[in-house]
Amino acid sequence: MAERQRGYWLISLTFILGLYLQAMPMPDGLLWWRPEWVSLLLLYWCLEIPYRVGVFHGFVLGLLLDLIEGSFLGHNALMLSFLAYLALLVHSRMRMYTLLKQSLMVFVLIGTSQLVFQWTQSALGATASTILLVLPATTSAILWPFMHLTFDAMRRRYVQ
C-alpha cells in the first residue's frame, strides 16, 4: 500500500501548481497565448502513469478549475475528462514518439479539447473567435518538450 502511494504528493503538488498558473492574471493582450497548464499536466501524468491518473482526475481538476474561473460548473470538467480519455487512448503509442511528434500530438489533443470547450460554450450562448482557440494549443505544444523533460527527472526520482 505504501508503495502505491509513493510520489502521490508530487502529482498533487503539480496539479495545484497548474491550477495556480491557470488562474494567474495576465494582460488582456496575452490572455489568448496562455498555455493550458492544467491540460498539459493532466496529459503528462496520464501518459506517464496511466494506472494512477485518469479521467476521474480530469473531472475533479475541471471542477476545481470551474470554481476558480467562475465558469459554469462542469464546463471545464467535461473538457478535461475528455482530454484524459483521449490521452489514455493514445498513451502507449505516444510514449514511443520523439518529443517533436509528442508536441504535435499535444497540439492536436489540446486543440480537440478546446473545440469541445468551445462547443459547450456555444451551447450555453457564449461565442468566441474560433481561430483564437489555436493559440493556447500552440503555446502548450511549444512548452511540452521543456515540461516533459523537467517532470521526467522529478518522476524518476520521486514516483515509482
Average pLDDT over residues 118-128: 77
Predicted TM-score of the model (pTM): 0.91
CA dihedral 157, 139, 99, 118 (to 10 degrees): 100
Kindly state the percentage of the chain with pLDDT values over 90: 65
Q: How confident is the model at residue 89 (pLDDT cuts 50, 70, 90)?
A: very high
Helix (H) or strand (E) holding 92: helix 75-94
